[in-house]
Amino acid sequence: MHKALKQGTTHHAIFKQIQSARDELDIGLIAMVSASVVYRAGGPEGFAKDAAHAGFDGVIYPDVSLEEADTFFTPAQKVGLTTTMLISPNTTPERAEAIAKACTGFVYLLARTGITGERADAPDVERRVNSIRQWTDLPIACGFGISTPDHVRAVVKHADAAIVGSALIRRINQATKQNSDPLEAAGAFVRELSAATSDT
């Protein structure tokens, strides 16, 4: 995010891009955005209205706490956006239950502790996914350190979706440095990951 902001990316530009492509897409589009960006983009109410108008279907607030969730969730839900927060491996069962019940689109389960980035080993999410399923019927998506088709395969044995970020960004950056087409590189990698979801 920091690199994108340094290169001049703005929420206005992203909203325009989404709006221009929305009619051509039949998939859900979810914005993952930090609270600081939301406040700079008109606050929770203004941001939610602009995101919905642009064509987003939901929002992930990765750094919003359970205690401040209503401030962000209520404006988003009023304009038809789904809302999601993160559950970490260290979250207590009581707090995880409250977060799962507060979410409306899906539940985002962090597959590992630490910081995001590529890892060599596949995460073990079975126990945490099963726990969360006691509290919600929403889909459960797992992210953090999921980098390969084998990781995706391991995750979707238990969860409903795998979230891949850093590994995708790395391929885009590599293609750019090598004067290759970053869209082609991203598409090839996503197809490879997607194929792994049908192997289980």
Domain 85-200 indexed as CATH 3.20.20.70: yes
Residue 187 has pLDDT above 70, yes or no: yes
Does the pLDDT at position 95 exceed 70? yes
Burial label, 90 (beta-carbon count in 10 A; 0-12, 13-18, 19+): exposed
**Residue-range domain boundaries for the chain:** 1-81, 85-200
What predicted TM-score, i.e. pTM, was given to this entire model? Answer: 0.88
pLDDT at position 114 is 54
Sign of CA pseudo-dihedral 42, 47, 49, 53: positive
Per-residue model confidence as pLDDT tens digits over 50-65:
999 999 999 999 999 9
Chain segment 63-79, per-residue pLDDT in tens: 999 999 999 999 999 99
Q: Report d(CA 33, CA 122) in Å as an integer.
A: 26
Least confident of 55-64, 114-123, 147-156: 114-123
